[in-house]
């Protein structure tokens, strides 16, 4: 088995897998199952709950160290493990087993944002997992990644062990293997669990040149909901709060036992579908007929995404938690941090920083900044026909400064259009106010329609500005190996990106004799110096330099970004250790909010506090 600990800068890092295997029944199915007492009935033929299947259950749970607030999905007769679908150690038929302490040669974990399942791929030496995938019906997997102390590393290399439990069986593991959990700097219990999901592809590669290897391609628990067609007659309750309605639907399917449904942020009013939809509207659970005349069922996941989008909400899976939340509340600048995030801020440079900070020149190995011009700068219009009022309701975003739109979508007031985005090409007379129109069905509540328009707008334009950070530091600026908070990042978290103003980074000394970012920035902010360098020395057009410097002085450099995608990769080869890539995008509302224009319903959604200040990059102390 390859060495678990790797040196990554100042960190001693490691990773391991926990593999949960379900062996295929083959011809022995009648022996290991009592079919008269436990009939095998495909869940997709269920119409609600029948007499031959146990009643589905869901229970309300409060916030705790091991589970979020919300509704826990269970199923009578199926033990609910605190670890969710991957928390099982055995089964009554004797076909479920757990393999612990598997150390991959390499791995890559991708947290892919709100629209795609998280994925994990890894490569394992065949001698460490010498099994034929044809034997297994399904395989669950958990990935643990973290740091270890110097004492654990030294004692582990000397043969020291710690007690552990795998598959319900007590055992030991070397101290220089990453533990399942650790104690944080404030005495709190923290987990090294980074991924829970299922193996999509198990590949064994035999080659002449190298040792045989096993490759896993895995996806998170979203796969459970994507693989299950929704049963005819199943649907969401229109009168229950949306989180309870989703839990009730999921309780109809035994494979969802162990999942928790949570509405965020805590303490806000949870909507129902009744307030948004007409009494005669229904949520579809079927796709349109195909050309062949057959009908294709929606999966449970497709149905939930469609229903929550119609309510102006996002639904996503975080390990074993199904999160329902308005995009504004997930990404907005004035909202509280993500529930369950152990990061509480750091104090450095004489001030407190509430966001994880990454500084080019300090804890970043490489940084790429970009602005996306294509398919951005779009205004949004959402239309929904109201069958009761016999009128088409319209909502647009951005809205006017004086009042929001009525049922026909008209703005009033002298400043109604001053805050819409204008698409401008070089030249005269080539400006256009572009709108993207989205139809939605059955929404009769104007406030809900306004929120949907705002969610679409921010989703389209959020990727206009982007920054990609590559680092090997497992702690944000000001931290160390006792608090590897970077590993706790999820898509949607806010980060702070700054630029170190010291050091030589401008190569052309003929144009900029004092070659550092501070001098370059200060030069561009002073018109006379800028003309001296850019016009007299570099030969740029004086009118262009004047216009550029005026715009440059008004930018207000953005420092707060939202994590769009987060990747952790580790390898025992080459340089070894862990590499982290963070793809972050801009805070759209910070670029369009104007004085006197409030965000829609932010207070009711749990907003509070102030955003980190937006301004030019500030020098940081040593």
Query: Residue 127 in contact with residue 194, Cβ under 8 Å?
Result: no
Residues 292 and 427 in one domain: no
> Is residue 448 located within the same domain as residue 485?
no
- What's residue 591's pLDDT? 42
Q: Are residues 283 and 360 in the same domain?
A: no
Q: What is the structure's pLDDT at 266?
A: 77
Q: Which of 370, 330, 344 is nearest to 476 (CA)?
A: 344
395 with 354, same domain? no
Count CA atoms within 13 Å of residue 569 on its CB side.
Answer: 14
Q: In terms of domains, do 164 and 270 share one?
A: yes
Residue 342 lies in a domain: no
Give the H or E element holding residue 137. Answer: strand 136-147
Q: Are residues 395 and 491 in the same domain?
A: no
Beta bridge partners of 569: 108, 579
Q: Is residue 615 part of a domain?
A: no
Short-list 340, 409, 469, 456, CA closest to 69:
340
User: Do the domain assignments include residue 148?
Assistant: yes
* Torsion sign, CA atoms 92, 97, 100, 103: negative
pLDDT of residue 569: 93
Q: How deeply is 263 buried, as exposed, middle or buried, from its count of CB atoms within 10 A (0-12, 13-18, 19+)?
A: buried
Residues 353-370 as b/e (b if ≥16 CB within 10 A, e otherwise) read bebbbbbbebbbeebeee
Residues 438 and 487 both lie in one domain = no
331 in any annotated domain: no
Number of domains comprising the chain: 3
Residue 139 has a pLDDT of: 93
CB 314 within 8 A of CB 308: yes
What is the pLDDT at residue 360? 85
d(CA 497, CA 476): 11
Question: Are 447 and 512 members of one domain?
Answer: no
User: Is the same domain home to 505 and 582?
Assistant: yes
C-alpha span between 454 and 450 (Å, rounded)? 6
Element (H, E) at 548: helix 542-553
Reported as half-sphere exposure (CB side, CA atoms, 13 A), residue 110 has a value of 13
Examine the domain organization and report whether 134 and 237 are in the same domain. yes
Tell whether 610 is covered by a domain: no
Rounded mean pLDDT for each run of 10 residues along the chain, 622 residues in total: 58 89 71 51 42 56 61 68 73 83 92 89 92 90 89 81 69 81 86 92 83 92 89 80 89 85 84 70 44 60 85 87 84 75 86 88 87 74 83 81 40 48 67 78 79 77 80 89 90 86 51 53 68 74 82 72 91 84 73 42 53 36 33
Whether 48 is in a domain gets the answer no
Q: Which sign, positive or negative, has the C-alpha torsion 339, 342, 348, 352? A: positive
d(CA 148, CA 177): 8
Q: Look up the domain containing 475 and give its range.
A: 347-368+466-590
**What does the pLDDT read at residue 492?**
86
Residue 611 lies in a domain: no
User: What does the pLDDT read at residue 443?
Assistant: 79
């Amino acid at each position: 088995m390859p060495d678990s600990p790797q040196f990554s800068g100042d960190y001693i890092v490691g990773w391991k897998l926990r593999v949960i295997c379900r062996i295929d029944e083959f011809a022995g199915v009648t022996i290991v199952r009592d079919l008269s007492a436990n009939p095998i009935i495909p869940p997709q033929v269920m119409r609600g709950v029948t007499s031959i299947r146990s009643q589905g259950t869901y229970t309300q749970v409060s916030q705790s160290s091991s589970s979020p607030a919300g509704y826990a999905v269970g199923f009578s007769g199926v033990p609910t493990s605190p670890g969710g679908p991957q928390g099982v150690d055995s089964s009554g038929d004797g076909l479920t087993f757990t393999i612990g302490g598997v150390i991959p040669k390499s791995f890559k974990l991708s947290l892919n944002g709100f629209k795609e399942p998280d994925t994990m791929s890894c490569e394992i030496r065949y001698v460490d997992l010498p099994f034929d995938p044809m034997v297994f019906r399904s395989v669950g997997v958990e990935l643990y990644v973290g740091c270890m102390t110097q004492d654990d590393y030294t004692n582990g290399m000397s043969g020291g062990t710690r007690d552990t439990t795998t598959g319900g069986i007590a055992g030991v593991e070397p101290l220089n293997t990453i533990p399942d959990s650790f104690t944080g700097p404030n005495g709190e219990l923290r987990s090294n669990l980074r991924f829970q999901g299922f193996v999509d592809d198990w590949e064994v590669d035999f080659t002449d040149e190298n040792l045989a290897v096993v490759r896993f391609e895995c996806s998170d628990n979203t796969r459970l909901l994507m693989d299950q067609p929704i049963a005819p007659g199943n649907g969401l309750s229109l009168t229950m709060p949306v989180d309870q309605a989703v839990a009730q639907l999921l309780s109809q399917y035994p494979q969802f036992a162990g999942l928790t449904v949570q509405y965020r942020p805590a303490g806000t009013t949870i909507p129902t579908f009744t307030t948004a939809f007409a009494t005669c509207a229904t949520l579809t659970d079927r796709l349109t007929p195909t050309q062949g005349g057959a009908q294709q069922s929606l999966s449970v996941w497709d149905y939930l995404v469609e229903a929550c989008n119609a309510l102006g909400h996002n639904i996503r899976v975080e390990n074993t938690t199904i999160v329902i939340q308005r995009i504004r509340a997930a990404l907005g600048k004035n909202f509280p941090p993500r529930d369950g995030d152990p990061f509480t801020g750091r104090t450095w440079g004489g001030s407190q920083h509430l966001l994880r900070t990454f500084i080019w020149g300090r804890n970043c190995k490489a940084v790429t900044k970009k602005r996306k011009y294509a398919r951005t700068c779009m205004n949004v219009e959402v239309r929904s026909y109201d069958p009761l009022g016999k009128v088409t309701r319209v909502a647009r975003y951005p809205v006017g400064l004086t009042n929001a739109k009525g049922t026909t979508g008209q703005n009033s007031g002298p400043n109604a259009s001053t805050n819409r985005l204008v698409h401008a090409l070089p030249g005269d007379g080539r400006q256009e106010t572009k709108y993207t129109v989205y139809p939605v069905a059955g929404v009769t509540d104007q406030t809900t329609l306004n929120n949907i328009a705002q969610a679409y707008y921010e989703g389209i334009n959020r990727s206009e500005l982007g920054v990609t950070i590559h680092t090997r530091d497992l702690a944000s600026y000001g931290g160390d190996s006792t608090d590897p908070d970077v590993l706790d990042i999820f898509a949607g978290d806010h980060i702070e990106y700054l630029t170190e103003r010291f050091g030589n980074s401008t190569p052309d000394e003929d144009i900029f004799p004092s070659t550092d970012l501070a001098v370059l920035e200060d030069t561009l902010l002073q018109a006379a110096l800028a003309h001296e360098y850019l016009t007299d020395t570099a030969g740029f057009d004086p009118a262009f330099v004047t216009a550029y410097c005026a715009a440059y002085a008004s930018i207000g450099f953005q420092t707060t970004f939202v994590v769009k995608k987060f990747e952790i990769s580790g390898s025992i080869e080459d340089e070894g250790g862990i590499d982290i890539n963070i793809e972050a995008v801009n805070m759209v509302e910070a670029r369009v909010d104007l004085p006197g224009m409030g965000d829609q319903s932010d207070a009711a959604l749990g907003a509070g506090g102030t955003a980190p200040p937006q301004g030019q990059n500030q020098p940081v102390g040593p």
